[in-house]
Amino acid sequence: MTAPGETVLTPGEFVVEFRVPSPPPRSRDAYLRFIPRGEMDIAVAGAGVSLTLDDRNRCTAARVALGAVAPTPLLVREAGEALVGTTLDESALYRCAAAAMAAANPIDDKRGTATYRRRLAGVLTRRAVALAARRIHEGGA
């Protein structure tokens, strides 16, 4: 994606396959989005998180992506880096959410102000981290 509704594909080209490697052990992910009403399928903001924890519950890998808060989806490397090497303590979660908020570049529209959507990006990121970690501990999807 290069802009809203635009990609690098030329007319007549289309994607036929995605290859996604199997995740390492003790890895899970989570995606959360906030929509204004149940009947609307357009997000005000969204956050996806992928985590890997070691046997001592220390984060060894993390990725954070945001949607609907910039012209294109964002991979927020600083947010993931804030988690690596930690046990997902309060300080790490704060730094992760702050990095997500700083990376967000939303617009004001009828779904919410830029300030609201930026804050929501941080809240959703923090909740997605917690959900992915809970999934690791429960051993489920």
Distance CA 111, CA 31 (A): 20
Rounded mean pLDDT, 86-93: 98
- 141 confidence band (pLDDT: 50, 70, 90): low
pLDDT of residue 42: 85
CA 48 from centre of chain:
3
| Of 48, 34, 40, residue with least CA distance to 116 | 34
Q: What is the mean pLDDT of the chain?
A: 94
Can you give the residue ranges of every domain in the chain?
27-138
Rounded mean pLDDT, 117-136: 98
Between 39 and 69, name the one with better pLDDT. Answer: 69
- Decide which of 3.30.390.50, 3.40.605.10, 3.40.50.300, 1.20.58.1180 is the CATH code for 27-138: 3.30.390.50
* Residue 80, pLDDT above cutoff 70: yes
Query: What strand order describes the sheet that includes 27-34?
Result: 27-34, 45-53, 59-67, 74-75
Distance CA 125, CA 66 (A): 8
* Residue 77, pLDDT above cutoff 70: yes
Distance CA 75, CA 81 (A): 12
